[in-house]
Structure 1
Amino acid sequence: MTGAPKAAGGGSSARWFGAGSRKISQEAVVIAISCILFVLFSLFLNKFLTQGNIVTLLKNVSILGTLAVGMGFIVVGRGIDLTMVAVMVVGVAFSIWLSTLGVNFTTAILVGAVLVALIGLFTGIMVAVAEIPPIFATLAIASTVYGAGRILFNSDVLYAPSDAKWLTFVGGGSIFGIPVSVVVFALVAFVMSLFLKRTRFGRFVYATGDNPHAARTSGLPTRPVIITQYVVSALIAFVAGIILTGLVTGINTRLYNSTLIYDVLLVVVLGGIGLSGGQGGVRNVIVGTILVGILINGMTILNISYTSQSLIKSVILLLALVLDALINPRDEQTSQSGDI
């Protein structure tokens, strides 16, 4: 097959700056910036290097990172999923709503998982079978899911039942001093890493993202691969929603209108997963999550307004997209398939 995956075997993105023997990977640059920010914030922000703030930082990073693992999985296959936040808030809110009708909360969570999987299935069919460009399909489906949820729940905030002990453990518990939410994020990242690196399906994802036309003509099941990606992405978003609900004992559906989905995209692009597809991995997501998490936490301590934070993150995202376009120029196959 022509157009072999750019990151064969599911390795990290091979994106480099410079020439000759002085090549520096984007991943290394992101790690260096993260370390510099951490040191600067530790030195000049009194409240940054405290136990309470570090725990808060880790918990917030766990939600952002979990969502970014799902988004990275989609982007590796040359797609994008703007439904993730809508699926997260509506899926969990639906489960809580069922529990208010007398359904056991654990059972309601399982029903919510089925609902989000069906949403992911529908999204995948729209992208893979109907061949609607992912950015338009997922944007429309996200708005539809959120709107339907608002009509059904007739409330912005839904609180989980107080007797859901396992949910309380997810939000406030710890294992060997590590917050459970961080452990869940680590497990999701570990499973996804193995899935991409060690399975035939993972190789199919890289091949489809690298050159969809070549993958299709060589007999790879590209449509089932794409559909499965969106189902998995929806379920990962649901897991992130459970973590969030455990942390704050409820879910605010207005989170859909926040900049969270752009933060997730910022993590993926900064981490080094190229939008041209077929490269990158979970390690890129982790380094991007650390950088964005530290940046957001520092800006919050500095009491920078929400609007200003959004502007700063938007500028960084724009620069990251320009950098991605320079490092990973769109090839002939990308222009023919319409990319994302």
Structure 2
Amino acid sequence: MKLYALTFRIVAFLAIVAIISAAFWTQEPSFLSSNNMHALLRHMSVNGLAALGLTFVIVVRHYDLSFPGVASLGAMTLGWLISVGAPLWVAISGCLAMGLVFGITNGIIIARFALPGIVTTIATGGLAIGFSYFYSGGTSISQNLFMSGLLDLNDGRVLGLDKPFVILLSVALVGMVILHGSRFGRAFYATGENPTSAFFSGIPVKPMIVAAYTICGLCACLSIVLLVASSGAANVTAGNQLLMPAFAAVYLGAALFGRPSVLATMAGTMLMSLMLNGFTLLAIPYYYSDAIVSTVLILSITLFDVRIFGALSRVFTIRKEALT
């Protein structure tokens, strides 16, 4: 039965992808061109990495609103280190270190001191944004970026695939092994479903929450490395564009596949990237596309939330019985 349900969900997802692609292709034939598909996959890779990290936080039933700010701090750290002549691997390590530090900090504050996740991560995200201004006073950093080799992460290919997409697939594979192929991953789901039962079952609930936030911070900063590589400049607003697409991808995928998972997030990210890419080709103003993404997020949360979906189901059932 589970295999049948999964097959049905996959077929439904592919049908949605085909419908969206056909709709954009009829309006703009270049939508399915090779160049646009490469651009779409690179864009998907940036949002997908941020969404994959967020997936772990959503699985443990918490929220992280700090990762855009942390990503911006990571971007400025990356740009500053490259501008002062540090090797590329040192600069990328410094960027990822910001995600590690803030992820662990979020996790400890929320798990150990039981502070509200939304309020805590808004505060730490604001703190990260404040720190990001220290490097250059808020101006963008591009010095030495073109000669550092960073741009090769965006422009290079491996076996015909763009490097950003290869990185996304690699992280997704690792995420699937962790979340779906290990006891460690099942502990994330147990923590989210019922922390009390998980604790008495021997699962270290608080460390699992810390681990989820840490993974989210690391993935956000890895995502921003690719974004800086594509733009050729680091700035304090770099992470702003990650928030809505990441949340929409996680919840849209969860609505399509029944629960948050790596596969669901990848599917949600693909749908969001298809829509955003299509809007760009059709020259639809950004405020319209933002409104559509926000609407998709609200609908996804509605379909994923068991209480809301159950209430809607009961309303339709009652109306159907009344009509008959």
In the superposition, the TM-score normalised over structure 2's length comes to 0.87
1:217 maps to which residue? 200
The alpha-carbon distance between structure 1 residues 328 and 77, as it changes in their structure 2 partners (threshold 3 A), is farther
State the 1:328 CA deviation.
7.3
Aligned-partner Cα distance in 1 for 2:93–2:116:
30
Q: Percent same amino acid at aligned positions?
A: 27
Aligned-partner Cα distance in 2 for 1:280–1:307:
28
Contact 2:74 2:96 in 1 (8 A): yes
2:218 maps to which residue? 235
Aligned-partner Cα distance in 1 for 2:35–2:212:
36
2:287 maps to which residue? 307
> Out of 67, 76, 81, which is 1:93 matched to?
76
1:296 maps to which residue? 276
> Out of 170, 175, 184, which is 2:167 matched to?
184
The aligned length equals 307
* Alpha-carbon displacement from aligned partner over 1:29-62 (angstroms, at most 9, x marks no partner): 3332121111221222132122221111111011
Contact 1:98 1:108 in 2 (8 A): yes
Is residue 139 of structure 1 aligned with residue 122 of structure 2? yes
Unaligned runs of 5+ in 1: 1-10, 17-22, 331-340
Aligned-partner Cα distance in 2 for 1:109–1:153:
18
Aligned-partner Cα distance in 1 for 2:163–2:81:
25
Aligned-partner Cα distance in 2 for 1:294–1:68:
15
The alpha-carbon distance between structure 1 residues 172 and 141, as it changes in their structure 2 partners (threshold 3 A), is same
Helix, strand or coil: the match of 2:234? strand
Q: Considering only aligned residues, what root-mean-square deviation do their CA atoms show, in Å?
A: 2.5
Helix, strand or coil: the match of 2:141? strand
Aligned-partner Cα distance in 1 for 2:133–2:205:
34
Aligned-partner Cα distance in 1 for 2:180–2:264:
14
1:106 maps to which residue? 89
Aligned-partner Cα distance in 1 for 2:227–2:239:
13
Unaligned runs of 5+ in 2: 311-324
Q: Name the aligned partner's letter for residue 235 of structure 1.
A: L
State the 1:326 CA deviation.
4.3
2:26 maps to which residue? 43
Highest relative contact order (Cα 8 Å, sep 6+), 1 or 2?
Answer: 1
Q: Name the aligned partner's letter for residue 254 of structure 1.
A: T
1:30 maps to which residue? 13
